[in-house]
């Protein structure tokens, strides 16, 4: 470690600047969304087994809800454009626009060159949690997903029910394709119900017991036609470990709803930049 310069404290005291001020982002009309949702009908429900994943589809203007059932449980969510898997959830840009954790009114954005809302959070029963004294929050877009490659790197062990592996198997089954052909489509996730943050001393990513309880849920309006996949993480509530069979795990419920879309709503267009400049 190098010796600190004489003006080290002054350098550290420089105030931060928000990289992406989001005041100009188009705001979802949540009252209209909720009014429409109140008239929707459930069209499908999928129970995602512990240490496994399932796919689901939601039409644009419809909704889906993820609920904890039986016991505290976290999940890893992937989203794609149902007609074009090259458009997928972009956790990094979502983090840059909304912060490390998302809640009611925040949106899940797609990757470049599309950069448009894929889903909007209409309701979050854990919105009360905020940030705790450790810097932990719920529904993070900072973690990636537990995967067997990192497991092999850190411990030399092979574990085949990581969320990465579960999502691959679910997508392969949904598309009737071999696993090795779909793995590249699996991407960084929204960690649903997971409580995470960064340690203040070392800056390391941490997890702690999720505050989720049976009945807690998060509800999204689908802004485009969606193909989703949800893994019920092998870490259970992530209070002690992940990527193992030691943690108590429970299923997660996904419900799909359809009806007349919200008044004034329309599917958002892909980024105007991509339409006018045509780099790709």
Domain that holds residue 73: 43-260
Distance in angstroms (rounded) separating the CA atoms of residues 131 and 200: 13
Distance in angstroms (rounded) separating the CA atoms of residues 110 and 149: 25
Residue 143 lies in a domain: yes
Q: What is residue 114's three-state secondary structure?
A: coil
Q: What is residue 11's three-state secondary structure?
A: helix
Strand partners, 256: 44, 64
Burial call 231-261: b when 16+ CB within 10 Å, e when fewer: bbbbbbbbeeebbbeebebbbbbbbbbbbeb
Nearest CA to 254 among 271, 231, 276?
Answer: 231
Contacts of 126 (CB under 8 A, 6+ apart): 103, 138, 139, 193, 211, 212, 216, 218
Phi, psi (degrees; rounded to nearest 5) at 171: -70, -40
Residue 20 lies in a domain: no
Q: Cβ(245)–Cβ(254) under 8 Å?
A: no
How high is the pLDDT of residue 204?
A: 94
Residue 170 lies in a domain: yes
Q: How many CB atoms lie within 10 A of CB 268?
A: 18
Q: What is residue 149's three-state secondary structure?
A: helix
Residue 9 lies in a domain: no
Residue 201 lies in a domain: yes
Residue 58 lies in a domain: yes
Residue 191 lies in a domain: yes
Number of domains within the chain: 1
The verdict on pTM exceeding 0.85 is yes
Residue 74 lies in a domain: yes
**Tens-level pLDDT at each residue, the chain (280 residues):** 899 999 999 999 999 999 999 999 999 999 999 999 999 999 999 999 999 999 999 999 999 999 999 999 999 999 999 999 999 999 999 999 999 999 999 999 999 999 999 999 999 999 999 999 999 999 999 989 999 988 889 888 888 899 999 999 999 999 999 999 999 999 999 999 999 999 989 999 999 999 999 999 999 999 999 999 999 999 999 998 777 788 899 999 999 999 999 999 999 999 998 777 765 5
């Amino acid at each position: 470690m190098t010796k600190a310069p004489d003006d080290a404290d002054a350098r550290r005291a420089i105030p931060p600047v928000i990289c992406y001020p989001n005041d100009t982002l188009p705001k979802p009309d949540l009252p209209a969304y909720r009014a429409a949702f109140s008239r929707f009908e459930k069209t499908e429900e999928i129970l995602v087994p512990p240490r496994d994943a399932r796919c689901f589809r939601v039409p644009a203007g419809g909704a889906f809800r993820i609920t904890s059932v039986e016991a505290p449980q976290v999940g890893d969510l992937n989203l794609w454009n149902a007609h074009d898997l090259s458009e997928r959830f972009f956790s990094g840009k979502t983090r840059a626009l909304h912060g490390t954790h998302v809640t009611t009114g925040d949106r899940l954005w797609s990757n470049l060159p599309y950069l448009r809302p894929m889903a909007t959070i209409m309701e979050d029963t854990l919105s009360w949690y905020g940030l705790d004294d450790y810097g932990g929050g719920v529904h993070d877009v900072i973690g990636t997903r537990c995967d067997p490659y990192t497991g092999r790197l850190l411990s030399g062990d092979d574990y085949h029910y990581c969320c990465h592996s579960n999502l691959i198997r679910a997508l392969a089954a949904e598309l009737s394709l071999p696993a090795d052909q779909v793995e590249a489509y699996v991407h960084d996730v929204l960690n649903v119900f997971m409580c995470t943050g960064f340690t203040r001393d070392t800056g390391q990513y941490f997890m702690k017991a999720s505050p989720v309880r049976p009945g807690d849920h998060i509800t999204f309006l689908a802004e485009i036609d969606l193909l989703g996949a949800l893994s019920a993480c092998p870490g259970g509530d992530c209070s002690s470990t992940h990527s193992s069979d030691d943690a108590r795990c429970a299923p997660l419920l996904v419900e799909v709803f359809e009806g007349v879309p919200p008044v004034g709503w329309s599917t958002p267009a892909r980024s105007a930049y991509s339409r006018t400049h045509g780099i790709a």
